[in-house]
Structures are given as C-alpha cells and as structure tokens.
Amino acid sequence: MDVVEVTPTFEQYAFTFGGVAPLMRIRPGTALRVWSDDAFCGALQKTSDLSSEKVDLRFVNPQTGPFHVEGAEPGDTLALHFVAMEPARDWGASAAIPFFGGLTSTDRVATLQDPLPDTTWIYELDRAANTVTFAAQHTDLEIALPVEPMLGTVGVAPPGGEVRSSLVPERFGGNMDTPQMRPGTTCYLGVNVEGALFSIGDGHYRQGEGEACGTAVEGAMTTTVLVELVKGGASAAFPAWPRLEDDTHWMTVGSSRPLEDAWRIGQVELVRWFGELHGLHPMDAYQLLTQISEVPIANVVDANYSTVVKARKSLLPRAAAYGGLHDDLRRRAATLR
Amino acid sequence: MDVVEVTPTFEQYAFTFGGVAPLMRIRPGTALRVWSDDAFCGALQKTSDLSSEKVDLRFVNPQTGPFHVEGAEPGDTLALHFVAMEPARDWGASAAIPFFGGLTSTDRVATLQDPLPDTTWIYELDRAANTVTFAAQHTDLEIALPVEPMLGTVGVAPPGGEVRSSLVPERFGGNMDTPQMRPGTTCYLGVNVEGALFSIGDGHYRQGEGEACGTAVEGAMTTTVLVELVKGGASAAFPAWPRLEDDTHWMTVGSSRPLEDAWRIGQVELVRWFGELHGLHPMDAYQLLTQISEVPIANVVDANYSTVVKARKSLLPRAAAYGGLHDDLRRRAATLR
Amino acid sequence: MDVVEVTPTFEQYAFTFGGVAPLMRIRPGTALRVWSDDAFCGALQKTSDLSSEKVDLRFVNPQTGPFHVEGAEPGDTLALHFVAMEPARDWGASAAIPFFGGLTSTDRVATLQDPLPDTTWIYELDRAANTVTFAAQHTDLEIALPVEPMLGTVGVAPPGGEVRSSLVPERFGGNMDTPQMRPGTTCYLGVNVEGALFSIGDGHYRQGEGEACGTAVEGAMTTTVLVELVKGGASAAFPAWPRLEDDTHWMTVGSSRPLEDAWRIGQVELVRWFGELHGLHPMDAYQLLTQISEVPIANVVDANYSTVVKARKSLLPRAAAYGGLHDDLRRRAATLR
Amino acid sequence: MDVVEVTPTFEQYAFTFGGVAPLMRIRPGTALRVWSDDAFCGALQKTSDLSSEKVDLRFVNPQTGPFHVEGAEPGDTLALHFVAMEPARDWGASAAIPFFGGLTSTDRVATLQDPLPDTTWIYELDRAANTVTFAAQHTDLEIALPVEPMLGTVGVAPPGGEVRSSLVPERFGGNMDTPQMRPGTTCYLGVNVEGALFSIGDGHYRQGEGEACGTAVEGAMTTTVLVELVKGGASAAFPAWPRLEDDTHWMTVGSSRPLEDAWRIGQVELVRWFGELHGLHPMDAYQLLTQISEVPIANVVDANYSTVVKARKSLLPRAAAYGGLHDDLRRRAATLR
C-alpha cells in the first residue's frame, strides 16, 4: 500500500477549520504521511524565546490540510486511523503564555490581576531513550519523561458555513487536546460539508490530562494516518460528537463550557453509541456506563473545555462499530510498516 | 496488632459531618474494622423498590462515625490508610432517582422537564468470581463486572462550626465519590476541630468515573482502616484539600462547581504539594504537572463536583510525604492480615 | 403597636445559620428594631486598616439572631417585612480582600497569580444629604453617592441538621446580597426547623448589582422588621427558594454555582409562583415571564452566586400572595412610625 | 439628512457574521432605514405552526447586511446609533423550540430527558395602544404588554478569518439579546476587518431579561440607524467587548459561558472604560463600580450567555466618550424625523 507524503510550506498552513481551499484531494482508503509544524510555528527554540515576544497569536496552532475526501457528503462519517506519530524535531517547547492556561485568569475568566511570568521550557528529545527532558527553571531538577506522541488537533470543516479558529474544540473535532489521539486510535467525525475537509496538527511529544498550563510539549510531528469514509445508512450511527476507538476502549469527546457540559455531551454521546453497539435502552446504557466509565479530562484551557468518556471493551459483549472498521484499519495499518 | 470492630445501630448512623457526638474515641495508630450501611440504608433490595417510594431523602448516605482521634487539633493532618474493603451483603443497588444525577435536570440545574423514569437496578454479588452482575431492565443483557470496592464518602468535621450533609464533598473531604478511595490508598485530611471527628461510609462495590446516574453499585461495606495523626510542623504541609497517596501516585481531590473549579483546586493543591515534595517553584511544578497529570473525574452529580489530579511516582524523583507515612502504613497493614 | 429593640453584645453575634441557640423568642406579628454590626465587626475604620491585618476571617458577617418564632414549624412560611433601615454609624467600609471578590482568583477559582493589593475604602456618611462619599485612593476623585440601605443577609436555619456559615446564600436565604432586600420589601422563607430561627445582618449603605469586589459599603444598621407567619395550607405555596414582594414586583432569588444555575432556580421558582398567583400552566408562565422578567444579578462573589428574577405587578392581573399579606404588612408598618 | 432605505430579498439574508459579501457600501455618517425579517424568517404565523415542523434551524436569525463602512480598518471603532425601531408586521411570534432555551436541557446541557412540548405563541400587535398581547395556551388569560422594540443581534465580522453563526454573541457583538439595544442607544464595536462589515437583525417587539424560553416576541423590524466611525487614536479606547451608551448609562456587554464569565468580561471592560472616562486606577474603578453597577442579564439561552453591566451617568462626574459622539449622534438623529 502506498503512502502519500505531505509537507506543507508555511504559506500553506491552515489556521482555521473551514474557510480554506483544499491542500489536496484524496480517495477514501488513502494512507497519508503528514508533517505538521508545532503550535508556535517553531518560534520557541530556547528558554529565552518568550511567547509574548516571539509568537504572533494570530498565527498559532497551524494545521496541515484541509484534505478533500472524494465522495464525502454531509451525513457521512469520516474515519481517521492513526498509524504512527514520530517527532519531527529533536526538541519540543512549552510556555506559560500570559493570560492563557488553566491556573491563570484569561480573556474569559477575566480578573484584574497581573499575569503569571511569561516562561518558556525547552524539552530535549533523546531518540534512543525515547524521552523528553523537563528542566526546571528555578532549581536544578531535570526529569526524563517518556515520549508519548499525540495530536492536539484533528477536525473537519464545521456546518452552517462557519469558520472556526484551529484553537477551538467543538462538535467538528478541532483542538480537543486529548492524549487519546495517539497511534492505534481511530477517530470518527461526522461530515458537514462536501469533501469533509479535514486537517490535523498540534503535535505533542507528551501531554498530561487537562493540559494545565495551556501548552503541552509542543513539537513538529510526522503522522501516518489511514483515511476511510463510511457512506450510506450512516444516519443512524452518525457521530453527533467525535467518537474514538482503539483496541481496548470505546470513547467519545465532548467540548463546551463549563466543563460539566463537556462531560454531559460526551456521556450522552456514549449512551447513544451504546444503543447502537449493544441495543441498550438509554436508561440501561446510562446505568451501565455509570459503573464502568473512565473519564480522563482532556483540556481545561482551550476555547471550549474537553473531556473524554471511555468504556473498556473487555468488560462488554463483543460489538463492532461501522462494520468493524477499526479492526480492518488496524490490519491495513500493519501492511504499511 | 489488634483491630477494633465497629458496627453501628441504625440510631447511631451519622448523616452529617460535624454536629454529631463521637461514636468512639480512638488513639492514633488504631486499626478499625468498620461496617457501614449502603447509601439507601438498605431500602432498595429488588428492582420494584423505587427510590421515590422507599428512600427517605432526609436519611441517605449514612456514615459510620464520627471517630474522635485523641490528640488531634486544628492544623494537624489526619491520615487514613485503607487496608481492605469487603462487600458486607450479597447484592448492591443502584437507582436513577428522579431529578438527581448527571444526565437529568436537578434542583440546581433546574428545568421544567419531566424527570427520567424512577428505576432501580440490583447487582447480585458472586463472591467466588468476585463480580457483580448488571442486568438490563429493557433487554436481556446481563454483564458480570469485577468488584472494585471503594468508599464514596470519607471526611472530617468542617471548620467554622459548620455542619454539612454527608452528601457534600468539600475541603473537609466528604462525598467525593472517587474510585481512588480504595484499599491501598492513604487519605490525608486537614484537621479542623479537636479530635478530627472523621467518619466513613457510602461503600461502592464498583463505580465508574463521574458516577453518571448519581448512584454507584451501592452496598454495605466492611472496611479495615489504619488511623494515624501527623502532629507539629504540619503547618507547612497541611493539606488545604484532601490528598491521597498510594504506591503508584500522588493525588489531590478538588470539589466545587462548576467542574473546572474542582479541577483548578486539585491542580493548585498538587502544585503546592510538589513544592513540598520536590522543592519545585510553583511555575516549574505547573509546567511539569502539565505534562504528566492524570485527571480522572470523580463525580459530576453531588452537591459539589469532584475531580482527582494524579501524578505517577515512577516518573518522578523519589520523595516522601509526612515522613514516609504511607510506606510505614503499608508495612503495618501487612501485619493485620 | 410596640417595637421590640434588640442590640446584641459581641458575644451574642451569630456567625452561622443553624447551630446557635435563639437570641430571643417572639410571637408572629412582632415588630423588631434590630441593630446589626457590619460584616467586618467594625474592624475597618480607616483606609490604613487592611483586611489582611485587622479582619479575622473566621468571624465575619455577624448576624443578629436567631429569633425563635413561636408556632413556626417545618412547612410553614416565614414573612419578614422590612419597614426601615437606618445607618447606625457615620461611616461605611469596603475592602478588596486578598483572593476574595469577583475580579480576582479565589480559593475556588484557584490560580497561581498574586492577589490584588489589599485595599480599604472608607465612605463618610452625610446624614443631611443622605449620601456616602467614595474617595479614590489613587487620584483625587470624590463622589457623593445616595444612601440606599439594604441587608446582605437574611435567613432561617437550614434543614437536615445542617449549619451554614453566614457567608453562604442558599435555599434558606442567607448571604444573598441583593439590593432588593430593602425597606418596603417582604421576604418569604420556607421554615425548616421549629421556630424558624431567622437572623439578619450584613447591612449595606449601598451596593451595586453583583457586589463586584466582594464587599459593599458595609455598615452597622438599625432595621425595623415586622415578623409574620403563614400557617397551614402553606404546602401548596411553600417557597422552595426565597421569594420577595414589594409594591411593584414579584421576585424570587436563586443561589448556586455556576451563575446560570442560580438564574435557573430563580426563574423556575417564579414560574411556580405564577402558577399559584395566576393559575398559569408552567409552559404559559415560562412564555409570559420570558417577555417580562427583570433579572438583576445579586452577587457573583459569595459561596454561591445569586440572581433575582422579577416581574412587574403593573403588567399583570391583580393577584395576592399568602392572602394579601404584603399589603397587610404595609398597612401595619405605617402604624409604626 | 437623507436616509437610505434597505430591504433585502430572502436570498440576500445573511446567517453569519463574516463570510458574506457586502450587501452595500456606505460612508461614515450615513443614516440607514433597515428592514429585517424575524428570527424564524416569518415561518411561525399561527399557534399551530410548530417550530419543529416549520423552522429550518440552518436558516434562522437572518441578518440584514453586511454593510461595508468605507475607511473602516482593524483598530477603529464603529458606532451605531439606533434612532428608531418600528414593528414591520402586525404580529410577533415566540416559541419553545425543543431542546432550546433556558429551562430545558439542550445540546450543551445534555440530558436524557424528553423535550418540553413544542409550543408557539402569537402576539397580536395593537398599533394604537402600542401593545402586543400574550395569550395563554392552557387557560383563557390574555395580557396586553407594552411594545418595547429592540434588536437581538448587532455585530461586525470577527477577526482571524472566523465566520460565526448569527446565533452567537461574542466579542464582535452578535446575538447578545439585550433589551438595552433599543432606540436611543449607541453601540460601539471594535473593527476587525476592513469595512467593519456590520449587520443587524433579530427584532424583538419586547423581551424580558434572560430571554428565558429562548425566543422573544420575534418580529420583522424597521430600524433607523446612524453609522459613524472613530478613526485614529482609537487604540487606547478600543472597545475590547461591545460598549453601549445612552443618555443615562455607560454600558458594556460580556458574552461567554458559564454566565459568571460573561459578567466578569463586562465588569472588567467597564473598569477599563472608567479608566478612560474618569482617569480612575483599576482598583478604584473596581471599588466604585462595586457600589453603583446595575447588572441586568441579557440572555441565558444562546451559544454564549450575555450580561450587561451598567453605570448611571447621573451618579458620576461628566465625561465624554469618543469625543462626545453619542450626544452628537442624538442631535443628528433629531434632524431625521
């Protein structure tokens, strides 16, 4: 199986979902090997590079895309199976951007206080050990942390002619910032416009749940992704909100404010999905999920907050979503390497 | 080492934190084997027992306690190490109580809609298999789920003369409803009143994160707990909010509304604790935790919502809290069995 | 009609709702003239008196009471008609208390930022002009503002044996901090315990809606209040949340977090009241109120946030609550002066 | 002074802010007389017209515009002075749309409950009496309510290439749904794109604060508006969020979720404006506004919630915003009639 290599020029970076002409047209079944820049467009390279000086906040979180998927129409379901994610640089960067993050006032949680000190941390990558190193700024502590690559941002064009910043997580996916968006995961997104127009970006060499300070170990990433399309009859099983599947879990992602609404959305979507997967009445799905859900917060820092709601497959009867597409994509992925 | 057995009569059940005379006075170092009734006071025994008919909402979530810990004074830290939790009945119960839970309007999220149907599920316990069985009400599906016992409610008397319902999670602990409150965990709580006056209850044979419908697999529980007290010098390391420790993780629990504030509280408390444990400046702790935190939601249904914020010890330099008390309690616990 | 004068000693101040022995027993129909201290217990007298140095946060917002109303039982409705409020000192004080207020991070909206500067403002009272004077600290601006006296805190003992800080607004009333609690207003509260055990305090010489910085023009107050009790048949019209009535408006007060839930509570309670007053179906009351509600925020700074929801009587058919009690109390009040 | 009449065809309706070609280019100083359709595009004409059957939710809240204002550039301030609003039809409509509104679960406040009954109310307009009549659906009650016309939606194109649904209130204005947007008010909006590209719509014959059920007395409207532009030196006084001014009040509008964040935004923006108007230090403005703010909620039903924060001019020293533009526009408006 061939893999199509995609490396955009800076001029081709997309900073919105919707509102951008396709970078490329592809057929369902295509495997892509996509390079994406880091969320700062590479502007933070040493600890003296401060975000307030080096980062133009109008041009952050660049996406590679959008990709027009041939035959995709509103009501279809796009499936993106992530085969591999490889750090494309030897360092990652993280920053406490003034008035951005979870433990500071922001433009929304508006207070009259001074910002936290603008600070940048650089994480050196050790490819042999597969670690990135946290280096404290105020003491000598250094800690090597495992690389666990993920994509912060995966989304399609929104409905209704809207164009949204790549910083926004929403029903169309976008900047969900969940560590679950990693190799081995299949992401299902409802298609809103002809061609789906998906794009990906915001590589993280690792990230904790919540992304507390607002930025992960941000790094350029090379992502191998298999693209598939579910046509017809999709209406019944159309994902109202992003759904994820890996070998061990069924997952949904809700994004809104306040955070409990993000959770409600994800939990209701999983109730809905369990109706499709297991024929469960909503009240029974509500009860069953009450006892088995895992709910790792994704982000509490973006334009919307996001949570993941997960259910472990091994606890449940065997079921297949979208005709067993995830297993099929896993098999196809194995042929790529 | 002796273990003190405690089984309260119904008249001795406590329904508040604070405002109740001590059930027993104990010395630091005592091991207790505590029986606690389920959150419904045993009123739901079959699926036709509906909460609207059988449960007196003024008398729910009974606690066993309070225990007066000799020598405990405001500013000290109480440590409760959970050695074992054993289901004390052969069934657990869960219910969708009208206008209570996460996917329904409530007395707070007030709407004009009808309630969801009042429904009770009974989970039979299989002691040999160590499972409880979910039985769907609307289809034939039955699923055996592993027993993973935990306590929903662990707390001390609040400060300022307040008396709070046992349904409330707060700074003093209480109804946090996190699956992390399980055998092997040490819970640290700041002491607010002389004697600390802690109590425990709300056993769950298992619970998913979020406790979506508002009730777990509620069951009477026999809990073995080691009680310790950290005196003096505690001020620097006084837990402003509940702290948990097990063999693998440092954890904090924040409780408030909206849910992002529960998270903020837990995340700030863990930043504070990392200052104590690792000598980290708050900005460095903020950054480091951004990349390693695990944030499983505890509950989105109680009077306050709760989240846990965790950091994996194996990622971090070795550190000891409260003089290595958790390891010491683990050793002592081993002698009990 | 006689008026009973009540001036507590400092030792008699109440700092909670519930948990305090009655200051006095009174019969329904009694007129009281109650002195209450300011929220700082008089500790801030000049701008150099900083709250972090002079105020013991365990002893703030003192209440005068509780008053045991003879014959009051759970399920009854207590009516407090405010006849007059007179500043009892010649100055009021306001302060930006560190980590308290609406435009700062707090113990709940927890961030890592520094607090705003601890600042105290003193407002001199001009009795002849009936003004208090704002004096800027950083420039020369002085502005005389009309005195518009109100009580921040009016409440009864909570149900379920709870005891709550006088800083809390809740279903039982408490620290709602609405400018509507002023002379001419009747406040209806559901009785939770025998004797109702109401208390009042937290006089404000004036306050804007929201109480942005967390403290109004706090001042000792002399309040004349007529106390009445609605017995029997009250169940149908029992106020689930505080209800207010004056000559021009029907009003409810909801208190919770986030602020939209406070609003929802107040709006639903007014829908319920409109069913009682006008025989309206909930959907019709919902619609009608959508077009006529006035919704002035009360506070966005307390343990719960509060909003008032109002409907102008002149837009509506004539109706009487509780047998026309408000009009009756207005008549009785006129005989007091 | 000439007035330019504008009546769009259905094909010219705009359903987004941004993403639409200008309907017309105008010069600063132009007076427009703009017809706008109602939020339902006129689809609800009798009570048997249900929103679930008659309203296509992809095409609601049509705007008339956008208008390209010559010379407007990012960093400038657009001023829209509303001279008159006249109902353009003899009836208005309101509806409880399933899963939309404040006292129901929604796509965000997601629950498993059934929706409220889909219901439409028609308000007949009496031009002589200047009233619209509420007619209850479940009883015989009819109430004539004064017409108090306002526009729910006034906004400019957003920055960053975003295109937002006309249902969204945000920093760029949009669907704020405040009764303050009425004849006599000047609305100041920061310009984000060349030409400003403002549009208006969503006429309400009257609306309560909060817009509880989600829809006001929706009606086609003829609005006379004077358009002005503030160039240069605007940076210092650039409105970060919408500012309103009328003869009696300075006002700001914040929009976000949860509702307290909408309030924080508005309150901080008014603190900022008071620095410009009165030379006040932020701490002094914070204090002064604490004692004088009026905070009527605008909406608790839209994609963001909105609050207005107001300060009464008569309490304050005389001040002029934008060179006294509001007074000037009032004078110019008087020549139009």
Task: Please list every residue in chain C whose beta carbon sits closer than 8 Å to the beta carbon of residue A115.
Answer: 113
| Span D59-99, pLDDT tens digits | 999 999 999 999 999 999 999 999 999 999 999 999 999 99
Q: Which residue of C has its CA nearest to D216?
A: C291
Q: Tens of pLDDT along chain C (337 residues)? A: 689 999 999 999 999 999 999 999 999 999 999 999 999 999 999 999 999 999 998 899 999 999 999 999 999 999 999 999 999 999 999 999 999 999 999 999 999 999 999 999 999 999 999 999 999 999 999 999 999 999 999 999 999 999 999 999 999 999 999 999 999 999 999 999 999 999 999 999 999 999 999 999 999 999 999 999 999 755 567 889 999 999 999 999 999 999 999 999 999 999 999 999 999 999 999 999 999 999 999 999 999 999 999 999 999 999 999 999 999 999 999 998 6
DSSP of B189-239: EE--STTEEEEEEEEES---TB-TTS--SB--EEEEEEEEEE-SSGGGG--
Q: Given the DSSP bridges, would you call strands C3-6 and C31-36 parallel, antiparallel or unpaired?
A: parallel
Closest-CA distance, A255 to chain B, in angstroms, reads 13
Do C13 and C63 form a contact (C-beta atoms < 8 A)? yes
| Span D224-236, pLDDT tens digits | 999 999 997 555 6
Closest-CA distance, A257 to chain D, in angstroms, reads 6
Mean predicted confidence (pLDDT) in D162-166: 98
Cis peptide before D183 (omega within 30 of 0): no
Token digits of residue D42: 């006129």
Do C172 and C310 form a contact (C-beta atoms < 8 A)? no
Picking from C60, C80, C82, C63, the residue whose alpha carbon sits closest to that of residue C72 is C80
User: D interface toward B at CB cutoff 8 Å?
Assistant: 103-105, 109-116, 258
Class of domain A3-234+320-334: mainly beta
Q: How far apart are CA D200 and CA D210, in angstroms?
A: 20
Q: What pLDDT shows up at residue C110?
A: 98
Q: Which residue of D has its CA nearest to A17?
A: D162
Cβ contact, residue pair A265, D165, below 8 Å: no
Q: How far apart are CA D310 and CA D293, in angstroms?
A: 5
Amino acid at C327: D
Closest-CA distance, D261 to chain C, in angstroms, reads 9
- pLDDT band for position A337 (cuts 50, 70, 90): low
Closest-CA distance, B6 to chain C, in angstroms, reads 24
Task: Please list every residue in chain D whose beta carbon sits closer than 8 Å to the beta carbon of residue C138.
Answer: 280-281, 283-284
Cβ contact, residue pair D103, B115, below 8 Å: no
Domain boundaries defined on chain A:
3-234+320-334
Q: How far apart are CA D103 and CA C261, in angstroms?
A: 10
Mean predicted confidence (pLDDT) in D255-261: 98
Closest-CA distance, B95 to chain A, in angstroms, reads 8
- Superfamily per CATH, domain B3-334: Acetamidase/Formamidase-like domains (2.60.120.580)
Do C239 and C270 form a contact (C-beta atoms < 8 A)? no
Select from D111, D163, D267 the Cβ nearest to the Cβ of A162.
Answer: D163
Closest-CA distance, A329 to chain D, in angstroms, reads 31
Q: Which residue of D has its CA nearest to B258?
A: D258
Token digits of residue A4: 């199509």
Token digits of residue A179: 């560590």
Secondary structure of C41-71 in the HEC alphabet?
CCCCCCCCCCHHHHCCCCCCCCEEEEEEECC
Task: Please list every residue in chain D whose beta carbon sits closer than 8 Å to the beta carbon of residue C296.
Answer: 209, 294-297
Do A47 and A122 form a contact (C-beta atoms < 8 A)? yes
Task: Please list every residue in chain B whose beta carbon sits closer than 8 Å to the beta carbon of residue A150.
Answer: none
Cβ contact, residue pair A291, B209, below 8 Å: no
Mean pLDDT of chain D: 97
Cβ contact, residue pair D104, B112, below 8 Å: yes
Q: What pLDDT shows up at residue B235?
A: 57
Cβ contact, residue pair A160, D161, below 8 Å: no
| Span A173-197, pLDDT tens digits | 999 999 999 999 999 999 999 999 9
Task: Please list every residue in chain C whose beta carbon sits closer than 8 Å to the beta carbon of residue B165.
Answer: 160, 162
Q: How far apart are CA B253 and CA B310, in angstroms?
A: 9
Q: Which residue of D has its CA nearest to C217?
A: D291
| Span B136-165, pLDDT tens digits | 999 999 999 999 999 999 999 999 999 999
Closest-CA distance, D297 to chain B, in angstroms, reads 18
Q: How far apart are CA D10 and CA C238, in angstroms?
A: 51
Cβ contact, residue pair D109, B104, below 8 Å: no
Cβ contact, residue pair C300, D213, below 8 Å: no
Picking from B10, B14, B31, the residue whose alpha carbon sits closest to that of residue B22 is B14
Token digits of residue C2: 């006689």
Q: How far apart are CA D15 and CA C329, in angstroms?
A: 53
Element housing D330 (H / E): helix D325-334
Picking from C77, C54, C102, C55, the residue whose alpha carbon sits closest to that of residue C216 is C102
Amino acid at A307: T
Helix (H, G, I), strand (E, B) or coil at D92: strand
Select from A109, A112, A115 the Cβ nearest to the Cβ of C116.
Answer: A112
CA distances from C152 to A86, C20, C206, C220, C269 (A): 59, 20, 10, 12, 21
Q: How far apart are CA A304 and CA A321, in angstroms?
A: 27
Cis peptide before B62 (omega within 30 of 0): no
Helix (H, G, I), strand (E, B) or coil at A337: coil
Select from C103, C112, C258 the Cβ nearest to the Cβ of A111.
Answer: C103
Strand partners, D159: none
How many residues can be counted in chain C?
337
User: Is the sign of the CA dihedral A157, A160, A162, A166 positive or negative?
Assistant: negative
Task: Please list every residue in chain D whose beta carbon sits closer than 8 Å to the beta carbon of residue A285.
Answer: none
Q: How far apart are CA B81 and CA B181, in angstroms?
A: 10
User: B interface toward D at CB cutoff 8 Å?
Assistant: 103-105, 109-116, 258
Closest-CA distance, B188 to chain C, in angstroms, reads 19
Picking from B320, B277, B272, B271, the residue whose alpha carbon sits closest to that of residue B292 is B271
What are the residue ranges of helices labelled H in chain A?
51-54, 259-278, 282-292, 325-334
Cβ contact, residue pair A300, B260, below 8 Å: yes
Q: How far apart are CA C305 and CA D260, in angstroms?
A: 9
| Angle (CA) C321 C267 C224, round 5° | 50
Task: Please list every residue in chain A whose beta carbon sits closer than 8 Å to the beta carbon of residue B259.
Answer: 258-260, 263
Select from C213, C290, C295 the Cβ nearest to the Cβ of D287.
Answer: C213
Cβ contact, residue pair A110, D164, below 8 Å: no
Class of domain D3-239+321-334: mainly beta
Helix (H, G, I), strand (E, B) or coil at B268: helix
Task: Please list every residue in chain B whose beta carbon sits closer than 8 Å to the beta carbon of residue D110.
Answer: 103
Span of C41-45, C211-215, D238-242, D260-264 with lowest mean pLDDT = D238-242
| Cα atoms found within 13 Å of the Cα of residue D189, Cβ hemisphere only | 34
CA A259, distance to chain mean position in Å, is 17
Residue B75 has pLDDT above 80, yes or no: yes
